[in-house]
Structure 1
Amino acid sequence: MKKAVVVMSGGMDSTLCATLALKQGYEIIALHFDYNQRTMKREKQAFNDICDRLNITKRLSLDVSFIAKIGGNSLTDKSMQVPKTGLSDGVPNTYVPYRNGIFLSIAAAVAEKNDAKAIYIGVVEEDSSGYPDCRAEFIKTIQNAINLGTKDSTKIEIKMPLVSLSKADIVRVSLENNSPLELTWSCYESEEMACGVCDSCRLRLNGFKKANSTDPIKYKF
């Protein structure tokens, strides 16, 4: 069976990627990263719950806490405020410097070791808050670099099936494909119940609203 590494945060985007990869006939190697983010424990719980639901047995959770030591973002630095206005001049402080580049480099090593020919990542250009490492151009470029830096027989394709979708589109496609939205976690700040006011919660809630659907997770309000 053909294999794919799926980078899975526990959020709705990467969960839909895993759901689609399964429907496309891939055996999945689920890859999760702990980088001392504010909601690290809750995200890992979501990751494991989702893998259980989707019957993904091959899973790998890696400690990449050096990312927090680099700092420069509100997801790992609790002295910084997580944005709640949706307004930002340029890239918001929730951008973790080059995170997707780091994740994809590690995913490439996992893929090469396991003879996987695809890597799925849930990047979204429209609703990515302006993160530079969510652009399709960047993903295509790093794919070329990965294939230059691996064995000739490796030939990895990075798949980004959501890159041109809106959050409302992602909700709709998730519902159409029975992706387990109720197990996903998007909140940047809270691990008990989603705060509902951080930029990630706001994007998610707005996506459900535009899709004329109700978010199945609980919020504080």
Structure 2
Amino acid sequence: MTATDPSDDGALVLFSGGQDSTTCLAWALERFSRVETLGFDYGQRHRIELDCRENLRSGLGRIDESWERRLGPDHTIDLPALGAVSETALTRDTEIAMSADGLPNTFVPGRNLVFLTFAAALAYRRGLRHIVGGMCETDYSGYPDCRDDTIKALQVALNLGMERRFVLHTPLMWLDKAATWGLAEELGGQRLVDLVVEGSHTCYLGERGERHDWGYGCGTCPACVLRAKGYTAFVAAACD
């Protein structure tokens, strides 16, 4: 397939190795006949998430044979420049706190804009029309590049700039974390929930030592707190 012949049933998933991107990958595997994955190494403190990706991809294939058939190549792009220009708690060994502008200092300016631009460039070359990301503005830290308006504006810019008709999908945009756990269960049953718990990584500090009910992590950083709160609400709803 050439770059001038994009496939309408092919998708590229931004796959970090975290809870959200794992759920999005399962979502894409349910909908598209060919699904490739893309991760980014930008010097993040929680780079261990990238090491989780291979086992997660294998685990998804074991959950559903059709998913295994549809799962295509995995790609990783090194973006050290993004980390180099980002004085943030996600790319530096510094305490996580709120900044004067009201955003947490884990915000990496332009990260999703850069990720989606590179994803579109790769999708162009691979002949893929659909790009799937785990951005969400329901349960999130206030990052402006996670907002629905941002994603819609970027889709327009990418299509104009590359003369394509890419479709940017954000299946988690209007879901809170409890609903994201619920979506995983809907897509792959308890086996997918267990895979997310055991195999994915969300902790900003990159800690993988302690095992909680909701997975591994420090338990105190914003990402762990949000994941734990969502899991507790998900389990409570299931017991009602």
TM-score scaled to structure 1, two decimals?
0.88
Q: Equivalences for 1:1-221 in 2 at 5 Å?
A: 2-40=9-47, 42-54=48-60, 55=68, 56-78=71-93, 80-83=94-97, 90-151=102-163, 154-178=164-188, 179=192, 180-181=195-196, 182-193=198-209, 194-212=217-235
Q: For each residue in 1:9-52, what CA deviation from the matched residue of structure 2 results, as whole angstroms up to 9, or x when unmatched?
A: 11111111110111013311100001111121x21111121122
RMSD in angstroms over aligned alpha carbons?
A: 1.8
Q: For each residue in 1:147-173, what CA deviation from the matched residue of structure 2 results, as whole angstroms up to 9, or x when unmatched?
A: 00113xx31000001100000000111
Give the AA of the match of 2:49: E
Instruction: Give the distance between the partners of 2:134 and 2:233, measured in 1 at CA.
Output: 20
Q: For each residue in 1:73-109, what CA deviation from the matched residue of structure 2 results, as whole angstroms up to 9, or x when unmatched?
A: 101011x2124xx999621101111100000000000
**What percent identity do the matched residue pairs reach?**
35
- Distance of aligned partners of 1:211 and 1:186 in 2 relative to their CA distance in 1, 3 Å threshold: same
Instruction: Give the distance between the partners of 1:14 and 1:124, measured in 2 at CA.
Output: 11
Which is strand-richer, 1 or 2?
Answer: 2
Q: What secondary structure sits across from 1:62 in the alignment?
A: strand
Which is helix-richer, 1 or 2?
Answer: 2
Instruction: Give the distance between the partners of 1:53 and 1:30, measured in 2 at CA.
Output: 14
- Distance of aligned partners of 1:168 and 1:88 in 2 relative to their CA distance in 1, 3 Å threshold: farther
Q: For each residue in 1:92-146, what CA deviation from the matched residue of structure 2 results, as whole angstroms up to 9, or x when unmatched?
A: 1011111000000000001111111100000110112100000000000000000
Partner of 2:65: none
- Superposed displacement of residue 72, structure 1: 2.1
Instruction: Give the distance between the partners of 1:211 and 1:20, measured in 2 at CA.
Output: 18
- Distance of aligned partners of 1:87 and 1:212 in 2 relative to their CA distance in 1, 3 Å threshold: farther
Instruction: Give the distance between the partners of 1:186 and 1:7, measured in 2 at CA.
Output: 15
Give unmatched runs, 5+ long, in structure 2: 1-6, 61-67, 210-216
- Distance of aligned partners of 1:199 and 1:87 in 2 relative to their CA distance in 1, 3 Å threshold: farther
Misfit runs of 4+, over 6 Å: 86-89
